[in-house]
Amino acid sequence: MPQHPTVDLSAFPPGFRWSAATAAFQVEGSRTADGRGRSIWDDFVDTEGAVRDGATAEPGPDSYRRHRQDVALLARLGVDRYRFSISWVRVQPEPGGPVAQAGLDYYRRLADDLLEAGVTPFATLYHWDLPSTLEARGGWLDRDTAHRFGEYAEIVADALGDRITHWYTINEPVSTSLQGYAVGTLAPARQLLFGALPTVHHQLLGHGLALRALRASSATEAGIVNNHTHVRAASGSDADVQAAAVYDLLHNRIFADPILTGAYPDLGAFGIPPMPVVAGDLELIGAAADFYGINFYNPTTIAAAAAESPVRFEIVPTPGAPVTGFGTEWPIVPAALTDLLIDFRERYGDRLPPLVIGENGASFPEPDRVDDAVADAERIAYLAGHIAAVGDAVRAGVDVREYTVWSLLDNFEWAEGWTQRFGLVHVDFDTAARTPKASFDWYRGLIAGARA
């Protein structure tokens, strides 16, 4: 039998939570079932050439019809919580329009089955699937979208709050703003560069409005989750250090500062236009949350860009780092997660609520069809290294309460289609057959060991 890495669990206090995650568009399938509306990701996958392998997210894991298989896997895994997302267009096909009871019934069944299995449902209100009709009106560039999101949050909280009391509001606003609106590699595929910055403020405003709606319901725990990266300068030169500071501002601080301090960083000092703030916005955005969620995959090494570049930074390979299936875009440096968590504690101090690792995982090349468990030793090493890195941060005094593996299942990896597999469970994308990998059993053993 192969020897897999072990993790010193002594740093993790009693009650530390272990979780796994998915997202609606990536696993549900059934894009046209029960009156579901269209989202920007439906538009993206239907655009020729947008998705690397032409995948359309159908049927994929088919969780809309097979969610009980997923719940059984979660129970077998032994997780405390399951992070899943609720599809806005499955619940409210047209913003401002009637509610689709069939969509709400699906999430009721999912939550009930999770609770019966002893797994706490931890739902995300928004994981990138903006209704197409809102995008046609400007999407997150338009302030009104934040208000429509607040209304949707109220609908979901009122309908499901008797079953679901733990909530993420918005997932990774940085990815929507930078990849979706600034450079166009994700839906809605706009290429606005710094013209995308209003989407930052409007997503954060949407978070504040959703948090208020959840507080008015029965929520016992709610907060936002963002993708953060530890930014490193490619060299000690003034140009590289300054470029790294700009990137850190755009990827990390412009999102975290308003949530955690109630104010944006000094954008003018970096030549960045001000945010479209209206009186009262920052009070909503900076309202105290129960946790702050951090998704982490890799550090980012930054060099100064060439003089003719429209931006002042360039992402370059991280020297000496092994990589995931994404290549040099995703270097593997577990210690960077420790550094990031400590940086958050030092930067925000008493204003920092407990932290939750909302996603962490890696994709590696794997076969489309299997007869037995995939021996995914590279994934196990990645997870072990990063869980150990969280433990190091806890030892250094950072209040981290939960760790979440991305992902429970192989799923539709956005613009990469079916070409990147993150799951603890292998999925045959033609038949939706599920086969736990070696990493599934490894994580199950780790969870059991943590509770021993």
Axis-axis angle for helices 438-451, 63-77 (nearest 10): 50
Residue 215 CA, chain-centre distance (Å), reads: 22
| Burial class, 244, CB count within 10 angstroms (exposed 0-12 / middle 13-18 / buried 19+) | buried
Report which DSSP code applies to 417: T
Amino acid letter for position 98: P
Which residues are within 8 A (CB) of 346 and not within 5 positions of it... i.e. 6 or more apart?
Answer: none
Q: What is the rounded distance in angstroms from the CA atom of residue 68 to the CA atom of residue 109?
A: 9
Residue whose entry in the numeric block shows the structure tokens 């997202």: 23
With CA atoms as reference, report the closest residue to 164 among 61, 83, 282, 273.
Answer: 83
Q: Pick the catalytic residue from 359, 378, 402, 413.
A: 359
Tokens 């560069």 sit on residue: 193
Out of 172, 366, 378, 413, the active site residue is 172
Among residues 387, 364, 386, 385, which one has the least CA distance to residue 437?
364
Residue 309, C-beta contacts closer than 8 angstroms, at least 6 positions apart: none
**Catalytic annotation present for 28:** no
Closest CA to 317 of 232, 376, 439: 232
Strand partners, 223: 168
Of 223, 173, 192, the C-alpha closest to 354 is 223
Q: How far apart are CA 14 and CA 16, in angstroms?
A: 6
The amino acid present at 406, given as its one-letter code, is W
Distance from C-alpha of 86 to C-alpha of 69, rounded to nearest angstrom: 18
Whether 378 is catalytic is no
Which amino acid belongs to residue 336? Answer: A
Closest C-alpha to 175, from 251, 247, 124, 286: 251
- Cβ 60 vs Cβ 10: under 8 Å: no
Alpha-carbon gap, residue 340 to 87, rounded angstroms: 30
Cβ neighbors of 103 (< 8 A, separation 6 or more) are 34, 35, 36, 87, 90, 91
**Residue of 405, 358, 403 lying closest to 379 (CA atoms):** 405
DSSP secondary structure letter of residue 448? H
**Two structure tokens written together for 23:** 């997202």
Structural contact between residues 234 and 303, judged by C-beta atoms closer than 8 angstroms: yes
Give the active site residues.
Answer: 172, 359
